[in-house]
Structure 1
Amino acid sequence: MLKRLAYLALCACAPLHAATVLDDARLHALANDRYWISLGHYETAKLGGWRSYVDDPKFFLAKDGAHHPDQELRATYEALYAPASLGDQHAQCVFPARTRWLREQLQLTDLPAPDCKAYTQWYSDVSPHSAVMIFPAAYLNSPSSMFGHTLLRIDQADVQSDNTALLSYAINFGAYIEGNDNSILYAWKGLMGGYPGLFALVPYQEKLSEYRSLENRDLWEYRLNLTPEETGRMVEHIWELKQIQFDYFFFDENCSYRLLELLQVARPSLDLTSQFPLTAIPTDTVKAVKQSGLVARTDYRPSRERELLERAKPLDHAEQQQVLAVSADTAQLQSPAFTELPRERQALVQDAAYRLERYRANGLERDPERARRSFELLRAINRNPPPPLQIERPGLPEDGHESRTWQLGVGTREDRAFAEYGLRMAYHDLNDNAYGFPLGAQIEILQLKVRQYEHNDWQVQRLDLATFRSLTPRNDLLKPWSWQVAGGLERVLGKHENEVLVSHVNGGAGGTWQLGQDMLGFALGTVRVEHNNDFAGFIAPAAGFNTGVLWRNGLGNLSLEAKGDYFTNGEVRRSLSLNQQWELSRNLGLRLSARREFSQLATAQNEVMLEVKWYNY
């Protein structure tokens, strides 16, 4: 508001250029043009009319420009004729994308010519020519990155010929966080819109280091077929959005949705955002961009973690122990245990040791001793170089199953038949089709299951608010923790042979191990807090375990799990479950589930269900 008043005051200090009166019919036609709607980030309001996603009065010249595109257009048109002496504060300098478009649409040849020094220098530094969409793959150990992330890289004309992508700039949209919120608070505020969102144009090398090294995520680069003119239009608009706040929500108004809006500014014929009325999960937005015909080429950059593991894969246990020894003390390069190895095995060991040192250094301040070890390892590698590292490209993330799932099952529980109907908003569990997803990763948001027993007896079976599981295997070199957390409502065995709907929060941590090529075994200790009407206390805590096997086989994914919860009030609850999914197609699965439950409050119960799962956004 203060900025707008100051701007109007400056305009009043000098005579305006003569601006022709804009005809109302022409005004309304332009205000409803798709491109003007994109420039203002407008959407149709719930009760009619318009509202802008921009949550910042600095972005608007009209008093109610956030809700009236026509008023904002008129105010912009009039501001274009303000005195050129305003310099960098002139509307033409602050809103170059609006200026260019209105000049073209209205053939404005009599506009004043302010000297936009700041914008001109900034645009020259960026020098946009082409664009690449970057997708850092999902990373469960970071709440902001569980679903992946998207950003845009802006390349200069000679980037591909000179191989200088690291010198490009990246357009990123993300939550602006002040202070040091912990992961739980961050996730909650992100879900509820507790953070403002901001665009930023930063050196691409910084973002590459953050996503590829610090968080050890694979990167996918989608080169877009935008023309230099289209890329320039998008960068013009980024200048208009500097330090402008948006609302930010993890599942819809997020990084990916905002970038779709930018692409619509670049190429007005695109209609991308209308495909995401409820959620905008990054992999889904990548699919939309690809289906729109924007992607010319796809490149893959493996993470440092993947490079380390691929280099160490051919090494046996003794050789991997040598990797640990050499990385800790380069004097071990002269030890008999190392020098007795064949020369080609020495090359693999010392290269793996160097990669391990660089991996461990991620995110840490420079350590002179570690730098010395790294230098010594590099010298050894130069004397005895290993063969080039060949990494097989994994499945494209956008080729995985769709994110929303409809479920229909039939089964029996003891002597009662039932039908079960379910909907999961997002987006993957351990038994789903694993193509494009890491084995052992589970992210589920808002899953509802309702059962219809015989005699039309309906009941809510479960309502999962969120379920996260990260089963990352440990090995000789890396020993990550596996963990899980979940919360919601579910049916459990209760008194009088009835099932009781309880609310709960539970979590656990432990380890996962690679048992075979496509088989994981895991064991976690767990804790649980539950509200159960059959219990005397309002809440009851429990400690327990969750262990099992996950096997990727020729039909699909099979899991065998055993769970136990030992409550402080004496209740003991255990279960054994088996799930096998058949992948009928990318977005259609058939799952067989068998389960046996035990409780101190009731006799054991058996359940078998056959379920069809349709993945559909």
Structure 2
Amino acid sequence: MIFVINLIKVWIFVAFYLFVICLASKPALASETSAEQLSHEEVEELFAKAKVKNLYQDPIWIALIHSNNGTPEITDKGFLLSHSGFSLSEELKKTLEFLYQGNPGNVCRFPARYFWLQQQLPLPKLPLESCPDLIRFRKKAPMEHISLVYASETASQPAGILGHAFLKISGMNDQGQGVSHAISFYTDTNTINFPKLFFDSLVTGMNGYFSLTPFSDLENLYVNVEQRNLWEYRLRLNNNQRELIRLHILELKQTKLIYFFQKYNCATVLNFILALSGKPIETEFFGVTPRDLIKHAQHANLIEHTTEITSDRWLFIMLSNEISGEQKNDVISHVMQGDLATYFAPYNSHENYLKFELASVYNDYANSEKKLNQERWIENQGILNKIKKTEFPDLSMTTDNSFNPVNTPPESQLSIGNQHDQYGSSFVINLSPISHTLSDDNRSYSNETSLQVFSTTLKHYFQTQRTILDSFTIYGMESLLPYNELSGGISSMVNIGIEPQLNSRLNIIHVFSTNGEIGFTERIVPDMDMYILAGGGLGYTVDGGEIGYAISSKNLGSIGSGVSPYTTAEMGAIIREFWDMKTRINIRRTDNQIQMGSYYYTIKLNHSIFVDQDDTINFDLQRDFTAGRQVNTVFLALKRLF
């Protein structure tokens, strides 16, 4: 009997010991960690304290909610707790209830809100440090430094004409290695159905995605593949600000985001993130562009220092502008032949230093494109490195500061002017929320470009006292990219919207049109481009008015109805002149517009005088002509950028 009792005691001891071991070895999850839950009355008391401190009106709280003038930009019910009756105050109350009247693991859904509110209110502690995603984020993607990065504009994708902005985070990971990652917000634009793409991105919205990738991968994509420049702006942030940004990125990672080209894009999201610094960050009435974002960071004194990473194509173009075409071809020939040892002598010549830099750029490009074998590239590289070290040790390339996005002109514009055409004199007003045109000062861009989003032109005729919508551009883009030996260069134009077109009698009919052109541009000299474009489009008119409405009651002939295909061809030149002036002259042929069954030519001269960075005087002369008929148009306007 005693033996049985002792045996039972042993088994009880062993079972208790194993139970203790299991408890000690079981991992603690956020949802299983003991945390204080509050009663309804206690949460109401905390909310009352928050209201007294006006926390719901704090710029950081507004940024955490992504609210713009009282309207939430994120509508995901998993993010917007007060979706049924949103207000900043109600969202704060719902957040306190979610954190303290539910599962303690709820803190992992809103770590940034909890982190900030804990600094403002006497909140009980929640198991934030046990959140699995936060643990992984800290280990793999350290955030000792945060930089804002701008990728220069490109015409290869619709949104690329504005450039792109993203974050770079860097530090030592859990293995003691220095690593850098890029955090980017984007949408999928991989489609050839451009009308649908524009409609979805401007009207209905598209799925937005957050990506965390090694920075070197994105740098290679932009600089080497797409040949875009990068500007990296190290941000002046303390530990608390960086941690709040990290936690907020985790919140956004769990949220369904809808991308809109004009109102919720990469720059909009990062503008909210910058506001988490507590610094006053500006907003834009017409939406934030990537260049606006960089300027906002500069104005808030957040930029500590700037680093530029230039593409081979950009360097090649800039260097080619400084030497003759014959010298450029001579440099390329010597690189391909491997004859560089004495080519750059005498070494005290500035011109020879430019040739040396051009050879360095082309040597790398020719190797990457398999135009140069590996042995020749290595041999050239060794010679160039030796010459740099011994002959040009104190010389380096510097970039014109006007290319820095911080110093570029504003991207919204308003113009007023007077036009005289076949219908008499008229007052013209144009508002372009996100825009720059070929008549603007584009010297801060890598090439001549034009962009118009929701650009609206109204015209009032004094003689008939009629006011009409002369044009409405939903999306318009033109890029005159000079051709070069490195990467070629295709020029292109796309336009979607209501525009004035001419019928067989050269009378104006307004139609809804979708058109595009492609071609080539040649930089004849550094301040002069010549280009040729060809393409066509579809114009939609409705007989008797509606979309295809006439300006006057004159006999316009048959307007026709339905869809009308047409073709276009254009050639022209752009001259960037002394004393801050610019001239563009072009001739254009249009066939079968508005089912006219014939063609007409347009010759246009545009002259711009840049009074200062924000103000421009524009003067246009235009003649449209066909067999037996011609019309002339004169236009003078004052444009203000803002």
State whether TM-score is above 0.5. Answer: yes
Cross-structure match for 2:604: 577
1:356 aligns with 2:382: no
State the distance in 1 between where 2:74 and 2:516 align: 36
Asked if the contact 2:319–2:358 (Cα under 8 Å) also holds between the matched residues in 1, the reply is yes
SS state at 1:103 partner: helix
Q: Which residue among 544, 547, 572 is the counterpart of 1:548? A: 572
1:591 aligns with 2:618: yes
Cross-structure match for 1:445: 453
State the distance in 2 between where 1:378 and 1:325 align: 15
Q: Which residue among 293, 307, 312 is the counterpart of 2:301? A: 293
State the distance in 1 between where 2:475 and 2:374 align: 42
Q: What do residues 53-105 of structure 1 show as CA deviations (whole Å, max 9, x unaligned)?
A: 15362x467896977414531333316873xxxxxxx2344433233233333
- In structure 2, give the amino acid aligned to 1:150: A
Cross-structure match for 1:426: 434
State the distance in 2 between where 1:419 and 1:492 align: 19
- In structure 2, give the amino acid aligned to 1:253: Y
Asked if the contact 2:504–2:596 (Cα under 8 Å) also holds between the matched residues in 1, the reply is no
Cross-structure match for 2:378: 375
CA distance 1:153–1:460, change in 2 (3 Å) = same
Cross-structure match for 1:566: 591
Cross-structure match for 2:632: 606
Cross-structure match for 1:397: 405
Q: What root-mean-square deviation, in Å, do the aligned CA atoms of Structure 1 and Structure 2 show?
A: 3.7
1:133 aligns with 2:139: no
Asked if the contact 1:128–1:155 (Cα under 8 Å) also holds between the matched residues in 2, the reply is yes
Cross-structure match for 1:77: 99
How many equivalent residue pairs? 574
State the distance in 1 between where 2:381 and 2:398 align: 21
Alignment of 1:453-464 (within 5 A): 453-455=461-463, 456-464=465-473
SS state at 1:241 partner: helix
State the distance in 2 between where 1:434 and 1:114 align: 50
Cross-structure match for 1:246: 257
Q: How far 1:169 moved relative to its partner?
A: 2.6
- In structure 2, give the amino acid aligned to 1:356: Y
State the distance in 2 between where 1:528 and 1:371 align: 47
Asked if the contact 1:597–1:606 (Cα under 8 Å) also holds between the matched residues in 2, the reply is yes
Q: How far 1:594 moved relative to its partner?
A: 0.7
- In structure 1, give the amino acid aligned to 2:632: N
Q: What do residues 431-484 of structure 1 show as CA deviations (whole Å, max 9, x unaligned)?
A: 112342344211122222222223313333222232211112224555312121
Alignment of 1:397-416 (within 5 A): 397-414=405-422, 416=424
Q: How far 1:18 moved relative to its partner?
A: 4.7
Cross-structure match for 2:42: 22
- In structure 1, give the amino acid aligned to 2:338: L
Asked if the contact 2:111–2:128 (Cα under 8 Å) also holds between the matched residues in 1, the reply is no
- In structure 2, give the amino acid aligned to 1:575: T
CA distance 1:80–1:204, change in 2 (3 Å) = farther
Q: How far 1:518 moved relative to its partner?
A: 0.8
SS state at 2:274 partner: helix
Cross-structure match for 2:280: 270
- In structure 2, give the amino acid aligned to 1:69: E
Q: Mark the structure with the bigger radius of gyration.
A: 2
Asked if the contact 2:438–2:450 (Cα under 8 Å) also holds between the matched residues in 1, the reply is yes
1:481 aligns with 2:485: no
SS state at 2:162 partner: coil
Asked if the contact 1:354–1:374 (Cα under 8 Å) also holds between the matched residues in 2, the reply is no
State the distance in 2 between where 1:350 and 1:584 align: 38
Q: How far 1:571 moved relative to its partner?
A: 1.6
- In structure 2, give the amino acid aligned to 1:297: H
**More displaced 10-residue stretch of structure 1: 133-142 or 314-323:** 314-323
Q: How far 1:208 moved relative to its partner?
A: 1.9
Q: Which residue among 528, 531, 534 is the counterpart of 1:525? A: 534
Asked if the contact 1:593–1:609 (Cα under 8 Å) also holds between the matched residues in 2, the reply is yes
- In structure 1, give the amino acid aligned to 2:499: E
Cross-structure match for 1:161: none
Asked if the contact 2:537–2:567 (Cα under 8 Å) also holds between the matched residues in 1, the reply is yes
Unaligned runs of 5+ residues in structure 2 are 1-28, 544-557
State the distance in 2 between where 1:606 and 1:583 align: 25
Asked if the contact 1:430–1:557 (Cα under 8 Å) also holds between the matched residues in 2, the reply is no
State the distance in 2 between where 1:15 and 1:291 align: 45
State the distance in 2 between where 1:282 and 1:99 align: 29
**More displaced 10-residue stretch of structure 1: 590-599 or 118-127:** 118-127
1:511 aligns with 2:520: yes
Asked if the contact 1:347–1:381 (Cα under 8 Å) also holds between the matched residues in 2, the reply is no
SS state at 2:164 partner: coil
State the distance in 2 between where 1:556 and 1:17 align: 69
1:105 aligns with 2:120: yes
Q: How far 1:572 moved relative to its partner?
A: 1.0
Unaligned runs of 5+ residues in structure 1 are 1-9, 83-89, 159-163
CA distance 1:590–1:421, change in 2 (3 Å) = same
State the distance in 1 between where 2:272 and 2:128 align: 29
Asked if the contact 1:97–1:233 (Cα under 8 Å) also holds between the matched residues in 2, the reply is yes
Cross-structure match for 1:173: 185
CA distance 1:535–1:571, change in 2 (3 Å) = farther
State the distance in 1 between where 2:126 and 2:486 align: 66
1:539 aligns with 2:563: yes
Q: What do residues 405-452 of structure 1 show as CA deviations (whole Å, max 9, x unaligned)?
A: 211111322582222122122211111123423442111222222222
Asked if the contact 1:199–1:242 (Cα under 8 Å) also holds between the matched residues in 2, the reply is yes
Q: What do residues 308-347 of structure 1 show as CA deviations (whole Å, max 9, x unaligned)?
A: 33455566545544555566xx5x326xxx7895656999
State the distance in 1 between where 2:485 and 2:30 align: 69
Asked if the contact 2:109–2:251 (Cα under 8 Å) also holds between the matched residues in 1, the reply is yes
Q: How far 1:604 moved relative to its partner?
A: 0.6
- In structure 2, give the amino acid aligned to 1:411: Q
**More displaced 10-residue stretch of structure 1: 465-474 or 123-132:** 123-132
CA distance 1:361–1:425, change in 2 (3 Å) = farther
Query: Quick one: percent identity of the two aligned structures?
Result: 20
CA distance 1:147–1:13, change in 2 (3 Å) = closer
Under a length normalisation based on structure 2, what TM-score does the superposition of the two structures give? 0.78
Q: How far 1:139 moved relative to its partner?
A: 1.5
**More displaced 10-residue stretch of structure 1: 107-116 or 604-613:** 107-116
Under a length normalisation based on structure 1, what TM-score does the superposition of the two structures give? 0.81
SS state at 2:301 partner: coil
CA distance 1:156–1:417, change in 2 (3 Å) = same
State the distance in 1 between where 2:561 and 2:103 align: 72
